[in-house]
Structure 1
């Protein structure tokens, strides 16, 4: 028994402090700082203590979450709100694994992040005989499905170059999170490497091939009924101006996917907005003789649940080669959306061409949106439509919003006019819990740029429980996030799906706390209002200081699955 106790004690004993001696942790912090990092998200851990000790000697701001998955969502939200790289520190084993679902969302959505995870000491890697705390057989293999690449650093001298390479990869299209592991002893041991003075990480160039641009331009010039789908890659590639120019030159209707929401002006006469889950807009896309798809895979939601059957030719632009023609054959152009649309825009002149008799794109868009409205009118959705409109009118035009996987967000995918703000949701991977921690990270990022930092998060009661502990984070750091919780007593969207498919719902109803009392126990002001009072409550809360919560107890319904209307 004595030997067992001795081993357990050694495994849990923190390292002895090293005073006034630079170590591997300092190299990590110095490199991140030289690359332009300002903020780090995460939770300390035993094998990462050298990293956090070095952090204490830096000017980087650390935002400590309560659950590692929420740290990942926060770093994701930071990047979405600012365009900067999100930086995440993870501890070994359970801490690293807990963050994977959050990283899946960042990976699916193309959010640039650098993830630094600690590891057990080098001598323990691949060996279970030592029985080390938090040990995994191959930790970085666990991240292989949710990050662009994974690196294990075995010498401190390799830290600056490895982090610089990871940063470069993260910001190169297709953007995404990159994983780095540093063993405990590499972080703690003294180093002879000089202080990192500068680091440069420029994204790799990802232009379209000339012959593909030429062919795409020829198709578009000859088209009679072009249409455009703008996906999330349009926003990530900063392609909004080129998209607007091309649409106006071609006279092409534009619809934005949930990820592309905001890429095209909502009220433009050619805007089909984001009603991708609608048979009337699907008809317009199917009838196009050339369909230009930018930064979208034409996946499940954007294709109206794979019911989209285009009759014309497709031009698909995406930085991720695995996306091209993954759902529909077409002219695939692997390129950054911004570079590709800039090239197309430069080659397309405003066209004076014969249209098919009676074709008018502006009139088509107006008529289609009227049909969408009429369809909704016939479904007795007045409460839901008024609720979403009241939220939209209460939120300042330039404010960024973060939406969890909840019925209100499913509405927002289609009906939310981002105006001068930005719309962020978890539709990439579709996991629960993104909204509130994503908003925390977004607010921190905006503040780091000296921009108005108040943001709105929207969750259901089910998804709220995934991130409820982050009320402590918001209070500790005094982060100006207004959290709207729509409480319908269960997993609302799953309830609807099951009732529609089976006539009854199973295991969707939830016991939940008094959210107002719970928030107040964290020192966060909260209020409860009915759906008719949401506008006034949000206006007051969004004008307040620090974090606050608004709870609405109501049952919202989703509009009918319009892909079944055929």
Structure 2
């Protein structure tokens, strides 16, 4: 039964939401309509905002996340109440963990039902915004239409202020639907809060770095989010410090630079070099599970750790903690650091010699593990992907390889290692493709692909130029390897799956199945097509052993 009266006034609370978003510069909205959100979606019809309709709310959150990562703009997500809102939470966890700016507008039951569990309203939760508290920076409930513009503007400001992240705003159904006397929103301004480093901490950090004989740098995702790449390069060259990028920081430092350790953060040889640094500069990273080689990392020197999130600082070891936006902190360090007084000396080697030697040792270790198939497969994909193409990776063996071996070049590399949930790759790529209006690559395993298979309909509906590479090994490949290594056998990792080619074609999407040795040519052909397409490769990839020594 419709709850919108015929002839109702055109302007309502929903119009205030979309007018404010437009004034703030939003262009695109992701989500799924719902009963309590009808006023919000009706208002979209009177706006210039493009709506991208997903099939599952979690995937809509991933799509808004991918849009933001690829474009640098704020991702906007519209959610229904109850089940719809709750279904989005795993996607929001990834955005929250990775620091992706999003504004989430969730509908809510009518005001009179809030807190009145016994009324038994459809989709009713005891406290819906409390469910979002673990995966968003803050949560707001709007109870009057006049408060909508300011609340949306404040949420946008908070989302783009470092540490960036998703912000949750709830608007009850009757506030969205009721006629309003509030005038149309004409302008809205949201500027990020300043987050510079404290002066005395910069001075102390420069003292440490100037006196260091073996400085090294770990560049995390905050480096990219803070747009600190130029200052990172300048700082590294002044110090002649080897630089390694985490998976989230990939692309922050030139891959082939003489001081680049690339992204081999899980490799024992790289870990040993970093452990031997007398001063280790960590920028925009918590030194978490992957970066710390699964918490085996034991630096012997002093650590300077910079992060916009104060809870990150010293969370995995003592350090000179500097709470600041990574870009602002790098700029301050770069400006304050003159040519260091000390000449680097890594036990008789120059930093450049040590970096080259470490990369050679990593290559030799891989050579000793008979991983030619995996290395060729990844190299073929890299060769086929244009330098500037954005790529989105699910938690699959190919992504684990890419964390270490993928040269991001000038294209963005995006994976779900922040929270580690499955299903990020394809909807994230759809959001990016819509935002950029250019082709994007998504890479999934057969297990993770099933999490987002419904979004084939979204890609077809919006003609999103996404090439989806599905690496089918018949199960959860990463978990299979982990269990075999730990217990000698795998349990519950094998999966029955569809014929992905026929399934894609049933959505009207071109698809092909190719042998592993033909993956490069298949991708190049697919990149030349219009709209969405799918490439399926049936192959078994193995993980490399990070601590295996040279033969």
1:548 shift after superposition: 0.1
1:530 aligns with 2:515: yes
The worse-fitting range, judged by mean Cα deviation, of 388-397 and 346-355 is 346-355
**1:423 aligned partner:** 413
Contact 2:365–2:549 at 8 Å: present in 1 too?
Answer: no
Q: Which runs of 5+ in 2 are unaligned?
A: none
1:216 shift after superposition: 0.2
What CA distance in whole angstroms lies between the structure 2 residues aligned with 1:243 and 1:473?
Answer: 39
Question: For the structure 1 residues 563 and 166, does the alpha-carbon distance in structure 2 shift closer, same or farther, using more than 3 Å as the test?
Answer: farther
1:463 aligns with 2:452: no
SS in 2 for 1:66: coil
What CA distance in whole angstroms lies between the structure 1 residues aligned with 2:188 and 2:4?
Answer: 30
SS in 2 for 1:115: strand
What CA distance in whole angstroms lies between the structure 1 residues aligned with 2:229 and 2:303?
Answer: 20
Aligned residues: 549
1:519 aligns with 2:493: no
**1:549 aligned partner:** 534
What CA distance in whole angstroms lies between the structure 1 residues aligned with 2:506 and 2:339?
Answer: 61
Output aligned runs, 1:236-385, within 5 Å.
Answer: 236-351=225-340, 353-356=342-345, 358-385=348-375
Contact 2:59–2:423 at 8 Å: present in 1 too?
Answer: yes
What CA distance in whole angstroms lies between the structure 2 residues aligned with 1:318 and 1:276?
Answer: 19
Cα-to-partner distance string for 1:104-159 (whole Å, 9 max, x where unaligned): 00000000000000000000000023211000000000000000000000000000
What CA distance in whole angstroms lies between the structure 2 residues aligned with 1:414 and 1:399?
Answer: 18
1:102 shift after superposition: 0.1
Contact 2:426–2:442 at 8 Å: present in 1 too?
Answer: yes
What CA distance in whole angstroms lies between the structure 2 residues aligned with 1:70 and 1:559?
Answer: 30
Output aligned runs, 1:10-409, within 5 Å.
Answer: 13-351=2-340, 353-356=342-345, 358-409=348-399
SS in 2 for 1:160: helix
What CA distance in whole angstroms lies between the structure 2 residues aligned with 1:42 and 1:487?
Answer: 29
1:13 shift after superposition: 4.2
Cα-to-partner distance string for 1:308-338 (whole Å, 9 max, x where unaligned): 1101000000000000000010100000000
Say which of 424, 432, 435 aligns to 1:434.
424
Contact 2:265–2:291 at 8 Å: present in 1 too?
Answer: yes
SS in 1 for 2:118: coil
What CA distance in whole angstroms lies between the structure 1 residues aligned with 2:185 and 2:7?
Answer: 20
Contact 2:307–2:324 at 8 Å: present in 1 too?
Answer: yes
1:560 shift after superposition: 1.3
**1:498 aligned partner:** 483
1:20 shift after superposition: 4.6
| TM-score, normalised via structure 2 length | 0.98
What CA distance in whole angstroms lies between the structure 2 residues aligned with 1:502 and 1:60?
Answer: 52
Contact 1:387–1:532 at 8 Å: present in 2 too?
Answer: yes
| TM-score, normalised via structure 1 length | 0.96
What CA distance in whole angstroms lies between the structure 2 residues aligned with 1:78 and 1:548?
Answer: 19
What CA distance in whole angstroms lies between the structure 1 residues aligned with 2:79 and 2:253?
Answer: 37
1:355 shift after superposition: 3.7
The runs of at least 4 aligned residues of structure 1 exceeding 2 Å deviation read: 12-21, 350-357, 561-565
What CA distance in whole angstroms lies between the structure 2 residues aligned with 1:16 and 1:51?
Answer: 15
Q: Could you say what the CA RMSD is over the residues aligned between the two structures, in angstroms? A: 1.1
Cα-to-partner distance string for 1:390-441 (whole Å, 9 max, x where unaligned): 0000000010000000000000000000001110000000000000000000
Contact 2:212–2:342 at 8 Å: present in 1 too?
Answer: no
1:445 shift after superposition: 1.1
1:543 shift after superposition: 1.1
